[in-house]
Amino acid sequence: MKIAIASDHRGYKLKDYLINELEKEYEVIDLGTNSEESTDYPDYAFMLGEAVISGVADFGVAICGSGIGISIACNKVKGIRCAKVSNSEEAKYTREDNDANIVAFGEKTNNKEALEIVKTFINTPFSNLEKHQRRIDKITTYEEQNNDR
């Protein structure tokens, strides 16, 4: 399994921690940033989204100051379903119910909790329940019908 991970400058330290831990079990693709020098989170969100959509990575992990901005930017990439989560339970449900392909959180997330969130996210399968697939299909249809706005 390939996991792509990206952050802005505020998420840099947590990103590095996660890479070191995740590399013990998974192939990890580091999309930056590579320092605490100020950067713009959309640049990294778009790279991450493209890596997941193109199949370079199976899942993505996005980190910024709050997790909110980078999640919004990730969701601008067609086909991405990114959820900003605060705990492992939310990570589980965003995979089971929404078939999310990128998880996002803020830089102040505790290292061990962040690792638990990521592992829960990537190890939880989509439920394939009809009601959840129907809802995802509605999102996808809307996105396709309104792509030129």
Q: Assign residue 128 a region (left: φ > 0; alpha: ψ between -120 and 50; beta: otherwise).
A: left
Tokens of 113: 């909790």
* Residue matched to tokens 């996808």: 140
Nearest to 57 by CA among 128, 93, 5, 135: 5
Three-class SS state of 4? strand
Fold of 2-145: Ribose 5-phosphate Isomerase B; Chain: A, (3.40.1400)
Domain map of the chain by residue range?
2-145
Look up residue 50 and give its amino acid: E
Length of the chain (residues):
149
pTM > 0.75: yes
* Mean pLDDT calculated for residue range 140-146: 83
pLDDT in tens, 24-76: 999 999 999 999 999 999 999 999 999 999 999 999 999 999 999 999 999 99
